Structure 1
Amino acid sequence: MLQMRPGCECCDRDLPPDSADARICSFECTFCSECANQRLAGTCPNCGGELVPRPSRPAGKLEKFPASTTRVFKSEGCSAVP
């Protein structure tokens, strides 16, 4: 089950579970679409994996399986993998 992390690792923008702007890699590193596209060129700076739209979780399932509340934020910012 996806963690559904609550924010972008680059800019700390809120990304609620129903956000269409969330992008993730296979390790669930989470970024907003702006950072994923503009800063990172679609590649995760942590693992080098592809960043893809995060699937949404149906509202009824969020009650039983809530999204994570743990934020991951790189205060130094992030940049694309060379």
Structure 2
Amino acid sequence: MSQSRIETETPRHPALSSVLFTSLNQWLHNWVARRKLRALMELEDTTLRDIGLTRGDVIWASNLPVGEDPVQALSGVSKRRVR
């Protein structure tokens, strides 16, 4: 292959790199969200109750699959409970 041909070729799978970037970004977001759960676990039960959660809710969220955002899941639990 000539030097000029290498420089002008486009990636064969641009969608694959986009999917990998999105997956990595989602994993990082969920990892940060799981770190936030640690702070919730340190709250008193009465404080958790004030925001519409129980300690069991926080434990449940910490056991969700890595692909799911535990903070978003807890937000849904809290909103349903407040109604």
TM superposition score category, shorter chain reference: under 0.3
Structure number with higher helix proportion:
2
- Higher gyration radius (CA): 2
Structure number with higher strand proportion:
1
More contact order relative to length (CA 8 Å, sep ≥ 6): 1
Compute the TM-score of the two structures, normalised by the length of structure 2: 0.22
Compute the TM-score of the two structures, normalised by the length of structure 1: 0.22
